[in-house]
Amino acid sequence: MRKKLKYIFLLLMCLSAHSVFAQYGQNNRPKPLSTRDTVKATRQISDDEMLDSLRKKEDNKKDSVIFNSKFIRVTNELLLNDSTQTFAIDTGITQFENYNPLINPRSPRISLGAVGLAQRSLLFEPSKTIGFDVGMHALDVYTLKPQDIKYYNTRVPYSLLTLYNGFGSSAEQLFKIIHTQNVKPNWNVGFNLNFNGSKGYYSTNSILGQNISSLNAAIFTWYESKSKRYNLLANATFNNLKSPETGSILKDDVFTDNSGTLFYKNAAPVRLDHSYENWNDKGIYVKQFYYIGRIDSLNKGKDNSKVLPTQRVAHTFSVVNGRYNYIQSGADTYNVFPDYYFSDKRSRDSLVYTHIQNEFSYSFYLRSKSVKFVKNELKLDLGLVHDFWHYAQYVSDTTLNQYGAKYVQQDKKQSTTFQDITLKAKLSYRFSDRIGFEGDLRQIVQGRDFGNYFYDFKLILAGGNRVGKIILDAYSQNSSPPLVYTNWVSNHYIFHNDFSNQKTTSLSFNYINNPLELDIKAEYFLISNYLYFAAASGGTDARPAQLGADINLLKISIGKNLKWRSLHFDNYIVYQKTDYQSTLRTPEVYTYSNLYINKTLFNVLQSSIGTDVRFNTEYVAPSYAPSIGQFYNGANVTFSSYPVARVYIKATLQRTNLFLAYDYANQGLFSKGYYTVNRYPQQDALLKFGVSWTFYN
């Protein structure tokens, strides 16, 4: 029986083997297991193999998203005034070479000769502010103000490092850092750092007081609630600016001397060896706004989306503590100053101020529910602003102690505390996307500067993208004289004046056509009780003055960009004419032209190669008064005027922008140099470079 079973089992094995080989022959591979099988044999995976598998999976997950500049959104307080909107950061090279605020193509400045030194506008650019003003603005373009801060919303950390320098020279040295990142999807933080270590073109580098040293710093944050109703903008700023006040170099014929005598510009003797301005301030700025009622959304889910409120309440709080210092050591050998009141060899003048501001506002927006069609939209903003000011002025004086010995102390000369209350209203009505009206009203109703006002009205007429738009603007302004004109006590200047408010009325017409890259603006100004600084003919005794007659000024600006294939020719020209040219000292004509070609080099390097030229007609140059930081009408000196040219190349490669420029390339062609302020020679020809690195990952 057992033998029979053995033969039967052997026969079944043979039949099974035949069936298996028959299947292999048909498909050349084994067929899958039956779905009825529920247990599969598996190989044990080691710890190292499991770790490699997880790492590969995580790496593949990261590679699925490629971050670029579109993931970094930027905005500012002005853009958030009536809606929540952001824009992609600009990583291009447009205007990258125009880093110096003194040579802004559309807002050129006159200066003492280098970035970081005292400056003012070359053209007539009136201020539109009202209320208390100290009157010290010579270093304003180098400060970092709370309203200048940009706010970000980033999916990845973002950093921008920028460096500008001169080859083989320390005349210009600037470095800037921006870093920001989101700690939560709706909460961003960041900081700014700006350094200026320039030494100028004419200075004694071994004297520390003659070196420029400036620092701007800020930390900022933007929080937006998940419901999109609440926003918080906050920043803390710090500015510390040191600007040399050398009284200019002794050699006034530096560009006309043909004697052949060697002259070393970086060791040029100056009229004031140890003299400089030191301005510093620190402040905190917090703005909160909350949307009430219905919230509309425009372009929802897209990059250019907007959150549009129908009602909004806002509160802004800011506190600034600042100081204007003038430091001078040594005797005034060359009579830079008209006189001295406390010490003939030492000045330690300072004005300390504290400004606390609270602003409350309510906004109402009336629009149709379909925000795609913009018509019959009404916006109304009502606000109340409370300003608290305290300032005190000190000088360094010598006195006797109880033992009859002389000692130096800071003596307080004046101290004042006051308040202002301002009512604000903004009204805009858009009949359609073609016609709109805007009104801006500000009136100080209580306080030291009672009666100050600013009324501005605009009518906007748009005829479509190709036709362009017209902006008609009219404003009237009444503002108090700045403190430096009325009550000022320092070692070299003491003023006690009672001036009337300066009044300005303006009418303007502005035509803008973006497809044609054309903009034309005509402005008329009528200025009453014009305030300025003047001196006796050829003198240095700068004193505040007020013109009794009205000033009429006409200003026409035209900007036009031309393009043919990759060749570009950008132009801007300004014509100014006033009936008091000797008082309001500006040139009649200013022009800026930029000729460049865009090319992609080596298939990867997007670049621009070109030259730009700045020019203004002759005008009676102003003088400058150290220690009070004011440009004044001094000696009637008119300098010859020649074009100032620059040759440059700039390029971008992935996340790096570069430029190389030879500034004032035509020096020696028409003249050896030029002036914009009496006695202060301007920059020399210099090879400069700049680079910016962008990091986001």
Structure confidence by residue, pLDDT tens digits, 1-14? 444 444 444 444 44
- The per-residue pLDDT for range 429-457, each reduced to its tens digit, is 988 778 999 999 999 999 999 999 999 99
Nearest to 587 by CA among 663, 638, 539, 552: 638
Q: For residue 308, is it within any domain?
A: yes
Residue 402's pLDDT is 59
Nearest to 536 by CA among 637, 635, 638, 679: 635
Residue 507: pLDDT over 60: yes
Nearest to 116 by CA among 101, 103, 127, 106: 101
The answer to whether the beta carbons of residues 419 and 389 sit under 8 Å apart is yes
Residue 530: pLDDT over 70: yes
Residue 577's pLDDT is 96
Residue 466's pLDDT is 85
Higher pLDDT, 124 or 66: 124
Residue 204's pLDDT is 62
Nearest to 484 by CA among 474, 471, 493: 493
The answer to whether the beta carbons of residues 73 and 153 sit under 8 Å apart is yes
Q: For residue 61, is it within any domain?
A: no
Residue 369: pLDDT over 50: yes
Confidence of residue 167 (pLDDT cuts 50, 70, 90): confident
- The per-residue pLDDT for range 173-184, each reduced to its tens digit, is 999 999 999 999
Q: For residue 526, is it within any domain?
A: yes
Residue 139: pLDDT over 60: yes
Residue 168: pLDDT over 90: no
CA dist 135 and 226 (Å) reads 44
Residue 68's pLDDT is 64
pLDDT > 70: what percent of the chain? 85
- The per-residue pLDDT for range 576-633, each reduced to its tens digit, is 999 999 899 999 999 999 999 999 888 888 899 999 999 999 999 999 999 999 999 9
Question: Which is it for the CA torsion 331, 333, 336, 340, positive or negative?
Answer: positive
Confidence of residue 401 (pLDDT cuts 50, 70, 90): low
Residue 88's pLDDT is 85
Task: Quote the number of domains for the chain.
Answer: 1
Q: For residue 63, is it within any domain?
A: no
Three-point CA angle 106, 108, 109, nearest 5° = 155
Three-point CA angle 449, 454, 457, nearest 5° = 170
- The per-residue pLDDT for range 267-290, each reduced to its tens digit, is 788 899 889 999 999 999 999 999
Confidence of residue 485 (pLDDT cuts 50, 70, 90): very high
- The per-residue pLDDT for range 645-664, each reduced to its tens digit, is 999 999 998 889 999 999 99
Q: For residue 20, is it within any domain?
A: no
Q: What values do phi and psi take at 537, rounded to 5?
A: -55, 120
Confidence of residue 370 (pLDDT cuts 50, 70, 90): low
CB within 8 A of 417, min separation 6: which ones? Answer: 388, 389, 390
The answer to whether the beta carbons of residues 458 and 429 sit under 8 Å apart is no
- The per-residue pLDDT for range 176-222, each reduced to its tens digit, is 999 999 999 999 999 999 999 888 887 665 666 678 999 999 999 99
Higher pLDDT, 168 or 254: 254
Average pLDDT over residues 16-40: 39
Confidence of residue 237 (pLDDT cuts 50, 70, 90): very high
Q: For residue 589, is it within any domain?
A: yes
The answer to whether the beta carbons of residues 507 and 473 sit under 8 Å apart is yes
β-strand pairing of 656-663 with 502-513: unpaired
Owning domain of residue 223: 71-696
CB within 8 A of 301, min separation 6: which ones? Answer: none
Residue 100: pLDDT over 80: yes
Structure token digits, residue 207 = 């004297």
Q: For residue 409, is it within any domain?
A: yes
Least trusted range by pLDDT, from 24-38, 91-105, 183-197: 24-38
Q: For residue 689, is it within any domain?
A: yes
Residue 310: pLDDT over 80: yes
CA atoms within 13 A on the CB side of 434: 4
Calculate the average pLDDT of the chain. 86
Confidence of residue 505 (pLDDT cuts 50, 70, 90): very high
Question: Which is it for the CA torsion 13, 19, 23, 28, positive or negative?
Answer: positive
Average pLDDT over residues 298-314: 78
CATH number of the domain enclosing 563: 2.40.170.20
